[in-house]
Amino acid sequence: MRTLVFSHSRICRDPRLIRQIRWLREAGFTHITTVGFGPRADGVDAHFTVPVLPLALRYFGYLMRNHRSRFRFFFGRFLDAVPEIELLDLHLVVVNEIEYLPWPKLAYGELATVPTYLDLHEDHINHADRGPLEKFAFRKYWNWQLSELCQFVNYRKDKVFITSVEKNIASDYSKIFSADVGLILNAPDSNDLLPLPVGKSTIRLVHHGMGTKGRGIEETIRALRLLDRKFTLDLILFATPQFKLKIEILSRFLGVRRRIKFIAGVPLVQLPAVLNNYDVSIILLSDSIPGHANALPNKFFESIHSKLAVITGPNPSMSKIVTEGDIGISLSSWSYRELAGTVSTLTIEQVQRFKENAAVVAVGLSSDQSRAVFRTLLSKLDYLK
């Protein structure tokens, strides 16, 4: 059986896509072709790259007011380069996210008749711009993408199966599609790691993931300035040189550079063992970006499976898991002052308890549950042996 997988992400290091590819293999797919950016991922038979344009060209593209011309500039012309042979004799098309949906061959062309699995990783109903410039550059285009998404689902009717990453986001999609939307969490595979003891004189804070604006990195650095020296912070980031320079300057300006260690992003297979050496994971996703309000990101589950205490903002879904599992503290705001005030009161005994509880909570929040949902979806298409 053959499948074609689209994802505008770096598939080879996208945890959700890596699990998806493995599950497709388990379901009996013998030929998997991927389309996205970055190099070919393990377990894939063929890969076609949609490049990320240089910054200057991206700025040029953002000025385009005709949405289809803009789509073609960023994506369509590169998707057209996928050989026709890769579009033939497919048993399933897998589409992650919405960037490629307006491609004619996918939207209403030859791929539109193939059973489709659509996995929505983000909240595209609520806008995600972070200021007037982003609103000008993206808001109308994002609204157009949302309309294309609705047409994509409606065109397929009973030939599309849809999932998302969090129950409130899935519920919102279900309403606008008038269709069921399943839930597949970003939970990783189980592991045998145990919570390590907290040091007697140092509590190690960590933030890991993508290094970009709006992910609480700057707030965490500001909070560190208000904490005593028993607290250290490591930033394990996939980040551009521009963002690295920004946080380097910020940490030096605040006088905390010597207490921060900058570490390059770690491959998924190594991540749990690396994070396991820390004590507290800081995850602040402000609702100043509405799409972040209900977020349940990879880093949240990765922190739990690395047996760490977790501190989050008041994001409802993360707060519920943190509070009910007693694995950390959910703040009432995303303020760096509240973060610092909360962290400063942590005791070694309290952090150790949170870490021990994370080991318990991780058992019920693994990829096993999501794998079962995925297999159920495919079984409806008679794909499972």
DSSP string spanning 246-294? HHHHHHHHTT-GGGEEEEE---GGGHHHHHTT-SEEEE---TTSGGGTT
Domains (ranges, CATH) in the chain? Answer: 2-186+367-379 (3.40.50), 203-363 (3.40.50.2000)
Query: pLDDT for 321-368, tens place per residue?
Result: 999 999 999 999 999 999 999 999 999 999 999 999 999 999 999 999
The pLDDT value given to residue 385: 43
Higher pLDDT, 287 or 6: 6
Q: Give the closest residue to 100 by CA, choosing from 56, 160, 49.
A: 49
Q: In what order do the strands lie in the sheet with 203-211?
A: 260-264, 231-239, 203-211, 280-283, 309-312, 328-330
Q: Is the pLDDT confidence value at 252 over 80?
A: yes
Q: 3-state SS string over 71-87?
A: HHHHHHHHHCCCCHHHH
Confidence of residue 233 (pLDDT cuts 50, 70, 90): very high
The pLDDT value given to residue 271: 93
Residues 271-299: what's their mean pLDDT? 87
Q: Is the pLDDT confidence value at 384 over 60?
A: no
Give the DSSP letter of residue 178: T
The partner residues of 92 in beta bridges, in order of sequence, read: 3
Mark out the alpha helices in the chain (DSSP H runs): 15-26, 55-62, 67-71, 77-79, 104-107, 132-156, 167-177, 217-225, 241-253, 271-275, 298-305, 316-325, 336-344, 348-363, 367-379
The pLDDT value given to residue 286: 77
Answer whether 14's CB lies under 8 Å from 43's CB.
no
Residues 210-215: what's their mean pLDDT? 82
Query: pLDDT for 142-190, tens place per residue?
Result: 999 999 999 999 999 889 999 999 999 999 999 999 999 999 999 999 9
Determine the straight-line distance between the first and last CA of the chain, rounded to whole angstroms.
11
Confidence of residue 268 (pLDDT cuts 50, 70, 90): confident
The structure tokens listed for 359 are: 């080991």
The structure tokens listed for 73 are: 């500039």
Query: pLDDT for 50-99, tens place per residue?
Result: 999 998 999 999 999 999 999 999 999 999 999 999 999 999 999 999 99
The structure tokens listed for 170 are: 């899935």
- Please, which residues have CB within 8 angstroms of residue 95's CB and are 6 or more apart in sequence? 6, 101, 106, 116, 117, 118, 119
The pLDDT value given to residue 86: 96
Query: Residue 199, SS3?
Result: coil
Higher pLDDT, 264 or 135: 264
Q: How far apart are CA 142 and CA 214, in angstroms?
A: 18
Query: pLDDT for 116-136, tens place per residue?
Result: 999 999 999 987 666 787 788
Q: How far apart are CA 151 and CA 146, in angstroms?
A: 9
The pLDDT value given to residue 98: 96
Query: pLDDT for 97-115, tens place per residue?
Result: 999 999 999 999 999 999 9
